[in-house]
Amino acid sequence: MSEKENVLSIFALGGMNEIGKNMYIIENANDIIVIDCGNKFPDESLLGIDLIIPDMSYLEENKEKVKALIVTHGHEDHIGGVPYFLKKLKVPVYATRFTLGLIELKLEEHYLLKEAELKEIDSNSTLSFSDIRVSFFKVNHSIPDCLGIVFDTPEGKIVHTGDFKFDLTPANNEYSEIHKMADIGRDGVLLLLSESTNAERPGLTPSERIVGDHVLEAFLKAEGKVVLSTFASNINRVQQVVEACKITNRKLALLGRSMVNVVQVAIERGYLDVPEGMIIEPNLINTMMPERVAILCTGSQGEPLAALARLSTGDYRGAEISSGDTVILAAGPIPGNERSVTKIIDNLFALGAKVIYGSGSTTGMHVSGHGYQEDLKLMLTLMKPKYFIPVHGEYRMLHLHRQLAESVGVEDHHTFIMTNGDVVDIEGSVARQTRKIDAGDTYVDGIGVGDVGEIVLRDRKQLAEDGMLVIVLTMNKRDKKLVSDPDTISRGFVFVKDSEQLLKDINKLIIKTVDDIDVTSRKQWSEIKQNIRKSVGQYVFKETKRKPMILPIIIEI
């Protein structure tokens, strides 16, 4: 909460020092306005976790002040947490037509659509919340309908760019509103929050239009089926595939649930123009001549259960990749996904496919939706902010973005490199970063949200690395003595048939451990279990150098 009545506070609950789970907050004495609510995907250390979303406890504690969630665009790292947000906070969600379509898909899955208050906006919309007025400007990105946001406050203008690049020849002819950005900057921007994803890459981001030429060239050269994998949300790329299918007289099959859903939303809402009869059901792929079929599928990031991975292992029912087919990976691997993508590429080569992959500069099949250094400098130059907060990036990206800001005239001590939870307070048009609020990660596992913490993850790690030993003891209820020999069950620790002597020795040790416990102490089952865990754990580590989870179970008879 703002420390004084007239203080304006800006902070992030996600998106700082990370790529993903973007969530930014504007707060004054009366209102909290939330920008985006995304997720990110777990790395291999977070065993069994499905998604990571921002910790929203601060918003719950101040729920009476939360007036709106404004969404800049429809990528997962900006909308993936919306259902979990709406389960905690019943506030209106403002987004563009296409973005709302993607949010509706998510809310339907969570049975929240009927009760959600969804409000459509565009770049000409204005919103008012007590003494904050909100307006918008159109930006280019790799998904349709993206907005930057202007917050007109008593302290001055706060601008959030959303994700952007400056594409002067956009494939969908939706141009950045550069004139509007210049007007905003001329009127004076107190503070700019600008995305930093490509702050390491020099130059200007290439135009999406060059990809269409390379896609068509690959289709014209292809002799068998063409399989193209990309992000489902990249509707410009999907339209380019549709155009190539038109010219080469191919039917188009969609594989992957997200691809089918997003394309359906894009067609229904007028963002995708597909000729009648072009899209076919997947079960028709193998009934047609290969040179008359193209497949558009998910899985460009190496996801093991996505369509491309299953095609690469011959595990997709009704569709297969044959020798002579062309496979195009029309998306660059997100850092961390390289190994999974490489494995799929190897499998595709083994099937005899011609595989076109690699960064956009080598194949022309992908360009980034995020601005390179010159794009970022142009945004800074247009906005001319007094203060600057680089957002949406890992630390090195934020740091390099600060240097770009200084190179175009932002004073060095006027840039704030922040972590999630750091608060910039503005009073009298002067910004200071002196305090923090609680911010962190919430893990989503199945239907559980936030119920998996460090202890559960530590147990999962132990089970994954060394397995478990379940020790079943049958004990007499009256005299607390063993009725029979223990039953020791190994899961993921040792193979029983190859380790019979080890398990026999463990059973002997268990019997000795129980016998050594004073009869009066045996009334405490917890003490018996604790002693068994300790003695068996020490023995097993000495013999095997492994630390399985040991679970003693006592049955009274």
Residue 124 is assigned to a ligand binding site: no
62 annotated ligand binder = no
Residues 328 and 207: their CA atoms lie apart, in Å, by 19
**Distance (Å, whole) CA 108 – CA 288:** 35
Residue 142 CB burial class (10 angstroms; 0-12, 13-18, ≥19): buried
CA 512 to chain centre: 52
Contact 342, 312 (CB under 8 A): no
147 within 8 A of 72, measured Cβ to Cβ = yes
163 labeled binding residue = yes
User: 312 is written with which tokens?
Assistant: 């690469």
159 annotated binding-site participant? no
141 is in an annotated binding site: yes
Residue 505 annotated as part of some ligand binding site: no
- Cα gap 149→192, rounded to integer Å: 10
- State yes or no: is 110 an active-site residue: no
Do the annotations mark residue 78 as ligand-binding?
yes
Query: Is 485 among the annotated ligand-binding positions?
Result: no
Q: Are strands 226-229 and 293-297 parallel, antiparallel or unpaired?
A: parallel
Asked if 169 and 209 count as a contact pair (C-beta separation under 8 A), the reply is: yes
Tokens of 164: 């952007």
43 marked as part of a ligand binding site: no
Is 535 marked as a binding-site residue?
no
Report whether 487 belongs to an annotated binding site.
Answer: no
The secondary structure of 433-494, three-state, reads EEEECCCCEEEEECCEECCCCHHHHHHHHHHHHHCEEEEEEEECCCCCCECCCCEEEEECCC
Alpha-carbon dihedral sign for residues 456, 336, 165, 327? negative
In the sheet that holds 549-556, the strands lie side by side as 487-491, 468-475, 549-556
Is 234 annotated as ligand-binding? yes
75 annotated as ligand-binding: yes
Contact 172, 142 (CB under 8 A): no
* CA 175/CA 11 separation, integer angstroms: 30
Q: Is 50 annotated as a binding residue?
A: yes
Catalytic choice (27, 174, 177, 370) = 370
Q: In the beta sheet, which residues pair with residue 68?
A: 33
Assess whether 214 carries a catalytic annotation.
Answer: no
Find the catalytic residue in 195, 208, 214, 401: 195
Are 232 and 298 within 8 A, CB to CB? yes
Contact between 241 and 212 under an 8 Å Cβ cutoff? The reply is no
325 annotated as ligand-binding? no
- C-alpha span between 518 and 67 (Å, rounded): 64
Is 233 annotated for ligand binding? Answer: yes
Binding site per annotation, positions: 48, 50, 73, 75, 77-78, 141, 163, 232-234, 366-370, 392, 445
Catalytic residues: 195, 370
Binding site per annotation, positions for Ca(2+): 48, 50, 445
Binding site per annotation, positions for Zn(2+): 73, 75, 77-78, 141, 163, 392
